[in-house]
Amino acid sequence: MTGVYSVTQISSYIKNLFMRDYLLSRVTVRGEVSNCKYHSSGHIYFTLKDPGAAINCVMFASQREHLTFRLQDGQQVEASGQVSVYERNGSYQLYVRSCRLSGAGELYERFLQLKAELEEMGMFDEIYKKPIPKYCRSIGIVTASTGAAIQDIINVTTRRNPYVELVLYPARVQGEGAKESIVRGIERLDRMGLDVLIVGRGGGSIEDLWAFNEECVARAIFDAETPVISAVGHETDFTIADFVADRRAPTPSAAAELASFEYDVLEEQFASYKGTLDRSMIQRIQILRHRLKAAEEHLQRLSPESVLQHKKERLAAVRQTAVRLMQLKLKDNIRRLALMRDSLQREMTDQAASARKTLQIAAARLDGHSPLKKMSGGYGYVTGPDGKGVRSVQDVKCGDTLTTYLQDGRMTSTVTGTEDMKWQKH
């Protein structure tokens, strides 16, 4: 190659060299992610580095949909693609078609893949979650017989309830044969009819916790008839067992808290319930006593003796009422009689006074017509032979014997003659 070339020509030539190189067209590069940026266009720009070198990388939006995790700085990944030249700045870079986590990252990819499969099968669905009994009397534990996890569970449980039964299956929780040991522990304790199972271990790396990400362990937990609490690692650690278990506890100590109840609190509750029940029973007994007394009184009122007594009482009351009414009537009649007597007396007094006055007037008038009074003035009263008064000369005839009454006596005379004096009236 001779002569003078432009920058563009040189860059194009170098790019063609890269494109004709079979190794560079299909290469997988392992390294640590740094300077990772998610562009608004959907492209991902980052750098892969190791202690000796670094290479710029880009994953276009069209390839990003195959990415099963989010790229972050510090991750060890294996990026597959083509190495080519970016002509604008004359630098070469890796155009990434696919990317996977390396080492622990591979385990994480397996974790995500199994999680997606089991979730699609519905093994994480809430409808399959069994409730944890509130008052567990027996707790099965599948974990290592040594280590902090079992000690934490024992300490928390005995502190909360010293009477709970703990059944340990000493399982391998790490390394070769761990998953089979955990499955055997779950199946054996499940057949014992315990109230709840705690399956877990202390914290560690993803490799240390991997036995709890195995599908056989997940299926053993899912198939168990006994409620299972998963307690694997620390609060930030998540395993497949956590998702399929009936309840996830962030730590083994927290699992013991969930599985056991506080005996002292329960005793206080029982004491409170007993007090409430005693008060309720006393109130109920009082109510029943009142009802019984009311029923006895009602029954007594319906008995013949009670009816007879009631009638006697009513009769006595009627009699008392009649006597009281008669007394009131008698008093009223006496009062009215007294009033009538007083009125009659007043009327008789008034009539007597009126009659006396009339009598006086009549006496005065009679006295004015009295023959005696007239006789005292020289007059006399003459009666014929028949004793009747003589008022006219026509009442007598000659020879009749007449009696003349005077003021101081009477005298007898014989009629010798009569003389009519009518003419003097004219």
Closest listed residue to residue 56, CA positions, set 16, 90, 106, 21: 90
Which three-class secondary structure state does DSSP give residue 93? Answer: strand
Q: End of a domain among 61, 84, 102?
A: 102
Give the integer Cα–Cα distance in Å for 162 and 144: 22
135 contact partners, CB below 8 Å, separation of at least 6: 261, 266
Chain Cα centroid distance, residue 111:
49
In the 8-state DSSP scheme, what is residue 227? Answer: -
User: Residue 204's pLDDT is what?
Assistant: 77
Domains of the chain: total: 3
Task: Clarify whether residues 378 and 257 are in a common domain.
Answer: no
**What's residue 369's pLDDT?**
67
How far apart, in whole angstroms, are the C-alpha atoms of residue 35 and residue 27? 21
pLDDT of amino acid 229: 95
Question: Does residue 348 sit within a domain?
Answer: no
Model confidence pLDDT, tens digit, residues 22-59: 678 788 998 888 999 999 988 999 999 988 899 999 99
- Flag whether 365 is in a domain: no
Rounded average pLDDT per 10-residue block, the chain, 426 residues: 72 76 82 90 91 91 82 85 85 89 69 86 91 92 90 92 93 90 95 94 81 92 95 81 92 92 83 88 92 83 74 82 83 84 83 82 73 66 81 82 81 83 58
d(CA 117, CA 105): 18
Which pLDDT belongs to residue 186?
95
171 and 220 assigned to the same domain: yes
Last-in-domain residue among 87, 102, 117: 102
Are residues 77 and 71 in contact, defined by beta-carbon separation less than 8 angstroms?
A: yes
> Given this model, what pLDDT does residue 104 score?
56
pLDDT in tens, 118-167: 888 898 999 999 999 988 999 999 999 888 899 999 999 999 999 999 99
Distance CA 257, CA 176 (A): 31
Same domain, 83 and 133: no
Which amino acid is residue 102, in one-letter code? S
Cα(285)–Cα(277) distance, integer angstroms: 12
Task: Tell which of 102, 137, 159 closes a domain.
Answer: 102
- Regarding whether 138 and 97 lie in a shared domain, the answer is no
DSSP 8-class letter at 128: G
Q: Classify 373 as helix, strand or coil.
A: helix
Statement to judge: residues 195 and 86 lie in one domain: no
The per-residue pLDDT for 146 is 86
Q: Which residues pair with 404 in a beta bridge?
A: 382, 411
Quote the CA–CA distance of 394 and 384 in Å, as a whole number: 11
The H or E element spanning position 48 is strand 44-50
Q: CA angle, 343 as apex, 340 and 347 as ends, to 5°? A: 135
Domain of 208, in residue numbers: 109-261
- Alpha-carbon gap, residue 228 to 298, rounded angstroms: 62
Same domain, 133 and 230: yes
CATH of the domain at 11: 2.40.50.140
The CA angle 260-262-263, to the nearest 5 degrees, is 110
State pTM to two decimals: 0.49
